[in-house]
Chains A and B, each alone.
Chain A
Amino acid sequence: KAGVTQTPRYLIKTRGQQVTLSCSPISGHRSVSWYQQTPGQGLQFLFEYFSETQRNKGNFPGRFSGRQFSNSRSEMNVSTLELGDSALYLCASSLLGLAGGLGTGELFFGEGSRLTVL
């Protein structure tokens, strides 16, 4: 079956603009998570959605937001872009999330959207 699909794969923006990234999870998966990957900070958790509800949020400013639709597809938005927002944004899906909080679920990652802010 198809994997996690992220669009666009690459994009370039300038400071002050906003960007919307899209993620289509594996069919049947109801949980979608977003992570930011940078050389300096590594992989950092942004937020997780399940059945259109945000269940957890990382330590990012309010400029970073997300949502999930009834078909489980998710979008994240970054407003008023800063140079430091340049990163690879990874989306991951799973059937139920990190199942019941016991951490036994597997996350399936997309290839990411690489954002460059000039």
Chain B
Amino acid sequence: GNSVTQMEGPVTLSEEAFLTINCTYTATGYPSLFWYVQYPGEGLQLLLKATKADDKGSNKGFEATYRKETTSFHLEKGSVQVSDSAVYFCALSLQGAQKLVFGQGTRLTINP
């Protein structure tokens, strides 16, 4: 079946540290890949996306590259801020399915 696996959290970092949140997927076909972020008390917001192999999504200093050979879409940021504290979800969608398949989420806490 189609699934997404994220690194287990929670993850705690100091401000200005480098961030990596691992995401790998299993899919029948060629999915589009997404990172969504959920700030406390809010709904999910799209952070970035990539629709085909080797595409790089980027937004707010975050980046992720669609790696078909390793079936991965790792999220990275060079220097995190306290305001980046949130839960991050990796997700995929398949052609015609009209739904997102989410990973379990990774809670990120940034300490000043």
Contacts and interface: CB of A to CB of B under 8 A. Distances in A.
A79 to B, nearest CB: 23
Contacts, number: 72
Contacts of B93: 98, 103
A56 B99 contact: yes
Q: What is the predominant secondary structure among interface residues of chain B facing chain A? A: loop
A110 B43 CA distance: 5
A45 B41 CA distance: 20
B98 to A, nearest CB: 4
Interface in A73-99: 90, 92, 97-98
A98 B49 contact: no
Given A109-B44, A109-B45, A111-B42, A58 B51 contact: no
B54 to A, nearest CB: 16
B105 A106 contact: no
B99 A48 contact: yes
Contacts of B92: 103
Given A43-B89, A111-B41, A101 B46 contact: no
B100 A90 contact: no
Given A33-B99, A45-B101, A111-B41, A106 B32 contact: no
Contacts of A55: 98
B43 A102 contact: no
B61 interface: no
B102 interface: yes
Given A42-B105, A103-B32, A103-B51, A90 B98 contact: no
Contact of B43 (A56, A97, A104, A111): A111
Contacts of A35: 100, 102
A102 B29 CA distance: 11
Interface string B84-112: 00000100111111111111110000000
